Amino acid sequence: MPSLFRFLVLCALLAGIVYGVMFALVLYVQPTERDITIRIPTEKLNP
């Protein structure tokens, strides 16, 4: 039983760390907007 408890605590800690990193990314990283141009060949427009 102690090994199961240790495993569950480890999973909870890893999930908490992942959640904390994702929360920090949401708070501190600001995305930059830019225009994207995609060239489509005319062969694909008129099959």
Confidence tier at 45 by pLDDT (50, 70, 90): confident
Distance, in Å, from the CA atom of 25 to the CA atom of 17, rounded to the nearest integer, reads: 12
- Structurally, the chain folds into a number of domains equal to 1
Mean pLDDT of the chain: 91
5-44 core/surface letters (b: 16 or more CB in 10 A; e: else): eeeeeeeeeeeeeeeeeeeeeeeeeeeeeeeeeeeeeeee
- Arithmetic mean of pLDDT, 15-19: 98
Domain of residue 17: give its range. 2-45
At residue 31, the pLDDT reads 87
- Arithmetic mean of pLDDT, 19-27: 96
- The model carries a pTM of 0.59
Rg for the chain (alpha carbons), in Å? 23
Confidence tier at 12 by pLDDT (50, 70, 90): very high
Distance, in Å, from the CA atom of 21 to the CA atom of 38, rounded to the nearest integer, reads: 33
